[in-house]
Each structure stands twice: as C-alpha cells, then as structure tokens.
Structure 1
Amino acid sequence: MSKNSISLKWIFYTFLIGLSLNACLSIFTISQVEFSIFPFFTLFFTVNHFYGFYIKEANNEVSIRPAWATFFMGIFAYSAFTGALYPELGSNFISITITLLLAIWLMYKWMFKDNHYEA
C-alpha cells in the first residue's frame, strides 16, 4: 500500500457499520420499526471483518478521516431513510444535509487531494 492511498475497504466497511449500528438502535428506540435480527448480524460480521483489516493495515493514517466520514454518513443516511419511511417521526432535513455535506467532502478529497486508490 502506498503512503497516499485511501483504502476503499475501510470506506465500505465503516459505512456498513454506521448503517447497521443505527438500524440496531432504531429497532429499540423507534416503535414503528419492527424487530429484525439481521442488523445485529450485519453489525457483528462487519465489525469483525473490519477489525481484521485494521490489524493488517494499522499504519494507514490516510484512511482514518474518510472512514469516520463514511461512518457518520451511514448513521445519518439510515436516519434519513427512517424519516422518509415514517414522516410522523419528524423532519429528516438535518440528516439529509449532513449526509450530503459529508459525501461532498469525501468526493472532494478523492478527486482533488488523493490520486492513489486501493481496492
């Protein structure tokens, strides 16, 4: 791995961790969301797999900030999705806005800051 490469595996798995973590929390906190065991399975296996990547690529400081951004994108994207499914919960404007701002920042970082990518 070169010094300036953002690991796309970190990006993908942190997005899934954020998405499934918010899904697990929504099951317990929002009465309209029905119980399902699949977000818990997804969270367990994704965290387990991501930990393996983290141990192998422990010196990958370039991917940490984009990974945090995609983690929060996953959290806020699921909040926006839940707000769209159940409008009686309130507005999802803030969730959509934060998700879009993080996505714009991430695209800017990929397009103009880093020229090396790794799958």
Structure 2
Amino acid sequence: MNQPTISLKWLAYTYVVGLSLSACYSMLTKQAIPFSPFAFFTLFFSVNHFYGIYIKEADNEISIRPAWGTFFLGIFSYSAFLGTQYPEWGSNLFSVSLTLILAIWLIYKLMFGDKRYSA
C-alpha cells in the first residue's frame, strides 16, 4: 500500500515563491528598496519549477497545508526582515509574530505529525 508523503520539494519551492513574491511587491511599492530584476527572475523560475513538480506529484494532497504554511512563512519573514532593516516604517510585531507561529507550527507538523517525507 502506497502511503502519501509530505514533499520537501514543495515546501522549499513554496517558501522561495513566497519570499520572492514579497520582495517583488516591496520593490514595486516602497521607494527605499532599490529595484533589482533578480527577484522577478527568482519568482518566475521557482513558480515554473514548482508547477512542474505539482504536475508530476498531483496526488500528493498531504503536502498542501504545509506548503501553504511555508508560502506564508516566506511572505511574512521577508516583511519582518524589511521591518528590522527599516525601523522608521513602523512596528513589525505582526510579521515577526506570524513568522514565529508559522515556523513553530511547521516544525511541529514535520517532527510530530506524519512521519513520512519524500525529497
């Protein structure tokens, strides 16, 4: 019997997608951040490669919830990073708190949840 496994490739790519999406949004909306095309390249290639992985492993429903968690972890961790780099923009308590909550939930899910992983 083939049991479903949490795909670590999904988690890595969704984290990179969230991180680069937040970087692209910040570059376009905030003047203090210099423009760089590398965040857009990273977003394009990571989404493209993640889509290929998603098509190959379409029956992997157990990885969806942790993948969404790592996506939002990437978004909020970049926002927390910008909040520490530019403290004059205001408090980053929400970003740091959500980053820590998501990281703790993901660590708990990977360590004590299902013990089946695939690389």
TM-score range for the pair, normalised by the shorter chain length: over 0.9
* Matched residue, 1:76: 76
Alpha-carbon shift at residue 113 of structure 1 (Å): 1.3
Which ranges in structure 1 are unaligned for 5 or more consecutive residues? none
Asked if structure 2 preserves the Cα contact closer than 8 Å seen for 1:15 and 1:71, the reply is yes
1:46 lines up with 2:43 in the alignment: no
Distance 1:98 1:40 in 2: 25
Matched residue, 1:22 = 22
The aligned length equals 118
Q: Which runs of 4+ in 1 moved over 3 A?
A: none
User: Partners of 2:104 and 2:44 in 1: how far apart?
Assistant: 29
- Seq. identity, %: 64
Q: Which amino acid aligns with 1:45?
A: F
Aligned equivalent of 1:106? 106
Taking the aligned partners of 1:111 and 1:83, their CA distance within structure 2 comes to 30
Q: What TM-score comes out, normalization by structure 1 length?
A: 0.96
Counterparts of 2:32 and 2:78, CA distance in 1 = 14
| Distance in 1 separating the partners of 2:82 and 2:115 | 35
User: For 2:4 and 2:108, how far apart are their aligned partners in 1?
Assistant: 15
2 CA distance for matches of 1:59 and 1:84? 40
RMSD after superposition: 0.8
Aligned twin of 1:87:
87
TM-score by length of 2: 0.96
* Whole-angstrom distance in 1 between the partners of 2:60 and 2:107: 19
Amino acid at match of 2:107: M
Residue segments in structure 2 that go unaligned for 5+ positions in a row: none
In the alignment, the residues of structure 1 paired with residue 3 and residue 105 of structure 2 have an alpha-carbon distance, to the nearest angstrom, of 21
1:61 match: 61
The answer on whether the counterparts of 1:23 and 1:78 sit within 8 Å (CA) in structure 2 is yes
